[in-house]
A = this chain, B = another copy of it.
Amino acid sequence: MTRDNDDLRALIRTISDFPKPGIQFRDITTLLLDAQGFAATIERLASQMEEKPDLIAGIDARGFVFAAALALHLGTGLLLIRKDGKLPGETIAEEYALEYGTDRLAMHVDACAPGAKVALVDDLIATGGTAVAAARLIERAGASVTGAHFVIGLTELEGSERLRAEGVNVHALIEY
């Protein structure tokens, strides 16, 4: 393991102009295809946690990949935070800003017990809009966010700062 996870960085592919011109898309699908790289990613995400949380929360849809594997690795349950309208039970929802307009994230109102310690996981933090919405949902359910854990952080977009302003500890394995 190198301190800045250059071995994992080498497994991430950059695709220019996706989903639109000017964007450098960091593609984690090449990392996932590499069995050792995927396992190392999960171990290093886990090693960022000071204590074992009660639940891992994953954000729809790429966040599910890392959150599910982490939950299995740590022996915790998994909480799904989804686009509004996808969950069948009673939900609470939070709006977040898109470049044009807004969207909503939701979680089941009974998904975590009051006082539960929940670690938030996603593949990437950009502007932090979805992560802030997810953290607020967890707090509204009476649980606490022990930290937010990302494979990739896009530092220029300042999502980590926005999440820290909510009182959440932020960790990213690889920064661009």
Taking beta carbons and an 8 Å cutoff, which residues of A are in contact with B?
13, 15, 18-19, 25, 27, 29, 32-35, 38-39, 42, 55, 58, 60-62, 64-69, 71-73, 75-80, 82, 86-89, 108, 111-112
Partner of A38, one of B42, B77, B89: B77
Q: How many copies does the complex hold?
A: 2
> In the bound complex, how far is the Cα of B85 from the Cα of A25, in angstroms?
14
Residues of B within 8 A of A68 (CB): 32, 64-66, 68-69
Chain B residues closer than 8 Å to A67, beta-carbon distance: 65
One of B33, B55, B69 near A69 (C-beta < 8 A):
B69
A89 closest partner in B (C-beta): B15
Shortest Cβ distance from A125 into chain B, in angstroms? 18
Residue of B32, B35, B66, B75 near A80 (CB, 8 A) is B32
Give the distance to chain B from A56, nearest Cβ to Cβ, in Å: 10
A108 CA to B30 CA in the complex, in Å?
A: 10
Question: Is B89 touching A32 in the complex (CB atoms < 8 A)?
Answer: no
Indicate the member of A29, A55, A86 with the most B CB atoms within 10 Å.
A29
Write out the residue numbers on chain B whose beta carbons fall within 8 Å of the beta carbon of A64: 61-62, 64-65, 68
A66 to B78, CA, bound (A): 11
Q: Which residues of B contact A42 (CB under 8 A)?
A: 72
> Judging by beta carbons under 8 Å apart, are A78 and B65 in contact?
yes
B34 contacts A88, C-beta separation under 8 Å: no
Measured CB to CB, the nearest residue on chain B to A23 is B88
Q: Which of A27, A42, A69, A112 has the most CB of B within 10 A?
A: A69
**A111 adjacent to B29 (CB under 8 Å):** yes
Q: In the docked arrangement, what's the CA distance between A95 and B73, Å?
A: 35
